[in-house]
Amino acid sequence: MLPNFSYERPGSVDEALEQSSSEGAVLHAGGTDLLGCLRDGVFSAEKVVSLSGLDDLRGIRSSGGGLRIGALTTLTEIATHDAIAERYGALSQAAASAASPQLRNQGTVGGNICQRPRCWYFRGDFDCLRKGGDRCYAIAGENQFHCIFGGSGCYIVHPSDTAPALQALGASVRIASRSRSRTVPMEEFFILPSDDISRENVLEPGELVTEIELPRVASGTRSVYRKVRDRGAWDFALAGLAAVVRMSGDRVDEASLVLSGVAPKPWRAAEAEAALTGNRLDAATIEQVANASVAGAQPMPHNGYKVDLVRGLVMETLQSLA
């Protein structure tokens, strides 16, 4: 059952920032995550600030060779946008692989990158660390869907599909607040539990994601997003891979490999990128890159399969690009 809250529907970004700066205010974009969290008591709200009146934050525009995507653009709009499919394939595929058609019609890209974790202890009736409780239940509990990288104290995985694709494509996030606006590279937008266990990104209270900027794509660049889940739709990634490579001939000049579903934030596989860059995309390289992609993995008792899965994903994806 939803708690009692006041509801505001501002007509401008400034007004929205004003409304959302008060204590206990939450932002309502698509609402597909927010309403579930409120209903299940994951967190509460004094005030819900609807963003539905902010038409400025909708739509996809060209800008200096890149694209600017309004935070309220739906996942369906991204998944069906021709220029995105053509130039930013990984993003198009990531948006199309999220949730279900109904949720993609409603859910926004801003909401998608800001959504809360899906850990069933966080979502359920457990007083867990991330909710201010005294322990992480995943450590000794049912951790088959938890992280193999970047955990400490809390072992969530970041649930977004679009975020790893955006990060691999070099995107930045435009953030506004009453006092300032700033642009943060996607890579720096997300944080680990060791930085702050109560949140998943750098947003401060009163800040609002307004736009995502995608840079120009260098010629010869290809990108894909591949997601593995336990069922064909309406399911989060067990592991996923956003891969962006720029090649000349069969040699990789530049590579960006970002994993989903395996860490509390989109996880850059830096060693794998290094093993790939400058090398020919042949079987030997692919094997090395796959092994490097799980270097440093620290599986929990029930999620060791994710190590094999990431290795397999990297191999399959690179083979498809070769």
Structure token digits, residue 199: 């949140």
- Least Å from the CB of residue 303 to another protein: 8
CB of 2 or CB of 83, closer to another protein: 2
Q: Which of 296, 271, 284, 265 has the alpha carbon at shortest distance from 322?
A: 284
Tell the smallest beta-carbon distance from residue 291 to another protein (Å). Answer: 14
Nearer to another protein, 67 or 258 (CB): 258
Distance of closest approach, residue 186 Cβ to another protein, in angstroms: 25
Nearest to 94 by CA among 277, 224, 266: 224
Whichever of 5 and 195 has its CB closer to another protein, that residue is 5
Helix, strand, coil percentages for the chain (3-state, nearest 5): 30, 25, 45
| Alpha-carbon distance values, 62 to 82, 90, 212 (Å) | 12, 18, 12
Tell me if 54 sits within 8 A of 16, measured CB to CB: yes
Query: Please, which residue, 51 or 259, has the CB nearer to another protein?
Result: 259
Taking the C-alpha atoms of residue 271 and residue 33, their distance in angstroms, rounded to an integer, is 34
| Nearest CB to another protein, comparing residues 35 and 140 | 140
Nearer to another protein, 66 or 164 (CB): 164
- Report d(CA 139, CA 148) in Å as an integer: 12
Q: How far is the CB of 120 from another protein (least distance, A)?
A: 4
What phi and psi values does residue 68 have, to the nearest 5 degrees? -120, 125
Q: Minimum distance between the CB of residue 103 and another protein, rounded to whole angstroms?
A: 10
The single-letter code of the amino acid at 149 is F
> Is the Cβ of residue 212 or residue 228 nearer to another protein in the bound state?
228
In the complex with another protein, the residue whose CB is nearer, 135 or 246, is 135
Cβ neighbours, 10 Å, residue 318: 27
The minimum distance between CB 256 and another protein, in angstroms, equals: 21
CB of 318 to another protein, least distance (A): 11
The two tokens of residue 168 are 């691999």
How far from the centroid of its chain's Cα atoms is residue 230's Cα? 19
Cβ of residue 168: shortest distance to another protein, in angstroms? 19
Q: Is 279 helix (H, G, I), strand (E, B) or coil?
A: coil
- DSSP assignment string, 85-124: HHH-HHHHHHHHHSS-HHHHHH-BHHHHHHPPP--HHHHT
Distance CA 204, CA 207 (A): 6
CB of 41 to another protein, least distance (A): 10
- Cβ-based nearer residue to another protein, 55 or 230: 230
Beta bridge partners of 61: 68
Bridge-partner residues for 260, per DSSP? 240
Residue ranges in contact with another protein by CB under 8 A: 1, 100, 120-121, 124-126, 137, 140-142, 144, 228-235, 238, 302-303, 305, 308-309, 311-313, 315-316
